[in-house]
Amino acid sequence: MKTEELLTVKEVAKLLGLIPSSVYDAIEDDRLPFVSLYGRNLVLHEDARAYQRRTQPNGKLVRHRPLGYRP
C-alpha cells in the first residue's frame, strides 16, 4: 500500500462532496473502512470510491431527510 493511496477525512469529504462529520459517522458505523496512523483516520482511495458507489447510485447524490425531520 502506498501512502499516496491514503486520504484524510477532509480529503475523503471533498472527494465525495460530503462534510467531514459525515465521513466520521461512516467510519464510526463501520460503513467506511479506515486505518489509524499516528492518531489520524486514513481511508484508502479505493475504499472511498467504493463507499461512493454504494451510497450514491449512478454518481448522483442520495439525499436524506434532515435530522429531526418528522412527517
Single pTM value for the model: 0.73
pLDDT of 69 = 52
pLDDT digits (tens, 9 = 90+) for 9-68: 999 999 998 999 999 999 999 999 999 999 999 999 999 999 998 887 665 555 555 555
DSSP 7-67: EEHHHHHHHHT--HHHHHHHHHTTSS--EEETTEEEEEHHHHHHHHHHHSGGGPPPP-PPT
Q: Is there a domain that residue 13 lies in?
A: yes
| Type and span of the H or E element at 6 | strand 6-8
CATH number at 49 reads 1.10.1660
The answer, yes or no, to whether residue 2 has pLDDT greater than 70, is no
Whether residue 12 lies inside any domain: the answer is: yes
Domain membership of residue 47 as a residue range: 3-59
Q: Supply the pLDDT for residue 42.
A: 96
What is d(CA 5, CA 21) in angstroms, rounded to the nearest whole number? 21
On whether residue 54 sits in a domain, the answer given is yes
What is the pLDDT, as a whole number, of residue 4?
A: 72
**Structural domain count of the chain:** 1
